[in-house]
């Protein structure tokens, strides 16, 4: 019998999830940035700025922005590493990768950014290759998260670090309002703006199925990351996890 996994609140065969996730992001790619601003009231930019602030990225380093989508983090990282550094924007979804390339090309960032279509579970890079790996709002869409964390660990240099920015479990006082917003407002926004209510319903459901803060911390430790810690943002609606490879 084929192993099952979650796709939102549905159970699907393990091997089908990635294709279903790809279909979601093919659908929303051209509205992705606008919808992020709309859904988060622009606060996602502050979450990403906080991530960059804790990344320790310096000039001349090599950084992988995994599930990098339309390049929000990659754009900031490219400035930090400078002309002597390198940024790889990796995403499994070709539509998102094309949006990211177009956006960053238009911003004049041509020299130190490279684009790779890559699956987080089996990264096509050498061992000990990157000083830092970032993944923002992408890990919850990965079928085998443990395998992805192991793959990420392999490509990070000793002394390097991983930063995972992801939706998480909010504090109890905000949860009822957050549930109403997630399951009522998000699909409605998706329907009216992106002409796709189902993809944004999946978004809300996938957040609920993602491991909470302590569980993800344990998973990173199991993948051999050290000094793992997390920072709750916006009352735990989002959490930033950071771990090191020593």
pLDDT by residue, tens only, the chain of 246 residues: 568 898 888 889 888 888 888 888 888 877 887 888 889 999 999 999 999 999 999 999 999 999 998 899 999 999 999 999 999 999 999 999 999 999 898 888 767 899 999 999 999 999 999 999 999 999 999 999 999 999 999 999 999 999 999 999 999 999 999 999 999 999 999 899 888 899 889 989 999 999 999 999 999 999 999 999 999 999 999 999 999 999
pLDDT at position 140 is: 95
Question: Smallest Cα–Cα separation from 138: which of 164, 161, 174?
Answer: 164
Its sign, for the CA torsion 179, 180, 185, 190, is positive
What homologous superfamily does CATH list for 4-244?
Vaccinia Virus protein VP39 (3.40.50.150)
Query: pTM here?
Result: 0.93
Question: Smallest Cα–Cα separation from 51: which of 130, 171, 152, 161?
Answer: 161
pLDDT at position 1 is: 53
Q: Are 63 and 86 in contact (CB under 8 A)?
A: yes
Q: Are 116 and 107 in contact (CB under 8 A)?
A: no
pLDDT at position 2 is: 67
pLDDT at position 63 is: 98
Q: Is 4 helix (H, G, I), strand (E, B) or coil?
A: strand
Q: Are 239 and 54 in contact (CB under 8 A)?
A: no
Domain ranges (residues) in the chain: 4-244
pLDDT at position 201 is: 93
Classify 120 in phi/psi space as left (phi over 0), alpha (psi -120 to 50) or beta: alpha
**Tokens 């009822």 -> residue:** 176
């Amino acid at each position: 019998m084929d192993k099952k996994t979650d796709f939102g609140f549905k159970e699907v065969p393990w091997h089908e999830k990635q294709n279903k996730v790809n279909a979601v992001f093919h659908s929303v790619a051209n509205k992705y940035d606008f919808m992020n601003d709309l859904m988060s009231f622009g606060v996602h930019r502050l979450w990403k700025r906080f991530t960059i602030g804790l990344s320790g990225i310096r000039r001349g380093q090599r950084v992988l922005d995994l599930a990098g989508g339309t390049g929000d983090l990659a754009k900031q990282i490219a400035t930090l590493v400078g002309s002597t550094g390198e940024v790889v924007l990796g995403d499994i979804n070709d539509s998102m990768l094309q949006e990211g390339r177009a956006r960053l090309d238009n911003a004049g960032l041509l020299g130190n950014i490279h684009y790779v279509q890559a699956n987080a579970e089996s990264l096509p890079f050498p061992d000990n290759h990157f000083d830092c790996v970032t993944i923002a709002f992408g890990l919850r869409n990965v079928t085998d998260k443990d395998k992805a964390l192991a793959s990420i660990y392999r490509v990070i240099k000793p002394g390097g670090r991983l930063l995972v920015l992801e939706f998480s479990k909010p504090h109890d006082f905000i949860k009822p309002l957050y549930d109403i917003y997630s399951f009522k407002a998000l699909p409605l926004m998706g329907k009216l703006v992106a002409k796709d209510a189902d993809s944004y319903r999946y978004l809300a459901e996938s957040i609920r199925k993602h491991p909470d803060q302590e569980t993800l911390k344990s998973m990173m430790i199991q993948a051999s990351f050290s000094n793992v810690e997390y920072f709750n943002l916006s009352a735990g609606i989002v959490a930033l996890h950071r771990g090191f490879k020593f």
